[in-house]
Amino acid sequence: MPEGNAARPEPRRVILDCDPGIDDALAILLALRSPEIRVEAITAVAGNVPLERTAENALKLTELAGCPDLPVAAGASHPLERKLELADFVHGPDGLGGLELPAPSRSLDPRPAWEVLAQAALGNPEPLTVVAVGPLTNIALALEAAPDFAWQVEELIVMGGSECGGNATPAAEYNVYADPEAAQKVFASGAQITLLTLEATRQATLRREHLERLRGGGGPVSRAAAHLAAYYLDFAASHGADAAALHDPLAVGLAIDRSFATETVSANVQVETRGEITYGATVINRRLSARPRIDAGEFIRRGDPEPVAPNARLPVKIDGERFTAFLIDRLLD
């Protein structure tokens, strides 16, 4: 598992899998304006809004960021098993809060997203980081297409899940809830996962003072970021909050500079795929032990604690103020 980029002579190879989505859009702009990483492709998945929209939004945003040649590939138009549940009430019907951007000048990459992911991981010996900030359907399909994907990817940074309550339901965070079966496959894959849960991302928030800084920028990226931030803050305010969590930008932030996470723990993460009330919940076992259940006839007895293997590293303390200031600096033009 790589620690920060300080020791890296070369920019880190990155593919960003996303469902833009307002915070995804800020994550895309951050990624494309950060020399510490080299984004090789952006892959879109259905989630906040349908795939046609997330894919087109990704094309438009790469051109806004001055990267008109960056491959953008469309992936899954629906989850592996369940019905797609949108989050357009948060991000707006277009996924970008009504932000008007020029029509893309080029088409999508002809390959499906999971093929782009698998080829990038297997076709190049240089370490690859995948940052996944939407439902994990494309990642699960890449694992299916190329079983070696799990250990060919140096690090899979996932924004998803929660330790105590969700945002999509009282039990589940949206990215995992949108495709629990895909998420469970990813956590069971053996990939080197860094998992940013809601408890982590809510430590990095956008506030009105940050919006004013963006409004002070004169360039097209500042203006677009200000529009996105204003819409996102208005949604937060409509629910009584004066700040909005920078879920997806923080995932990119960790690929740029690991030091935004000041404390990280190992855990075993499982996803509830059969519950009704808890469908899509992440069960995060930090103790890394469990007591086996022994059927003793009339009763179930519990054996002695046995170790449970960790399958993810969770940044649990975030230097949120420093990250948000860093993000705004990177977005200003």
Among 28, 73, 87, 113, the residue binding ligand RIB under the rule CB under 6 A is 87
Chosen from Ca ion, ligand RIB, none, partner binding at 167 (C-beta under 5 to 8 Å by type): ligand RIB
Whether 273 contacts 176, CB under 8 Å? no
Q: Kindly state whether residue 133 participates in binding Ca ion, applying the rule CB under 5 A.
A: yes
Handedness of CA 70, 21, 3, 329 (dihedral sign): positive
Q: Which amino acid is present at 237?
A: A
Any contact of residue 232 with ligand RIB (CB under 6 A)? no
Q: Nearest to residue 215, comparing CAs of 195, 229, 205?
A: 229
By CB neighbour count within 10 A (0-12 exposed, 13-18 middle, 19+ buried), where does 3 fall?
A: exposed
Choosing among Ca ion, ligand RIB, none, which partner's interface includes residue 86 (Cβ < 5 to 8 Å by kind)? none
Q: How far apart are CA 27 and CA 229, in angstroms?
A: 12
247 is catalytic: yes
Q: Which of 63, 49, 51 is nearest to 21 (CA)?
A: 49
What is the residue type of 193? I
CB atoms within 10 A of CB 119: 15
**Window 223 to 282, contacts with Ca ion (CB under 5 A):** 248
Size of the site for ligand RIB (CB under 6 A): 16
- Residue 48 binding ligand RIB, by CB under 6 A: yes
Catalytic residue, candidates 91, 210, 227, 247: 247
Regarding beta strands 205-207 and 12-18, do their DSSP bridges make them parallel or antiparallel, or are they unpaired?
unpaired
24 versus 179: smaller Cβ distance to Ca ion? 24
Note whether 202 binds ligand RIB by CB under 6 A.
Answer: no
CA-CA distance, 186 to 177, in Å (whole number)? 14
* 24: contact with Ca ion by CB under 5 A: yes
Q: Which is nearer to Ca ion, 158 or 269 (CB)?
A: 158
State which of residues 15, 16, 37, 159 lies at the interface with ligand RIB (CB under 6 A): 159
Chain residues binding Ca ion by CB under 5 A are 19, 21, 24, 133-134, 248
Give the residue numbers marked as catalytic: 247
Chain residues binding ligand RIB by CB under 6 A are 19, 21, 23-24, 47-48, 87, 133-134, 159, 167, 173-175, 247-248
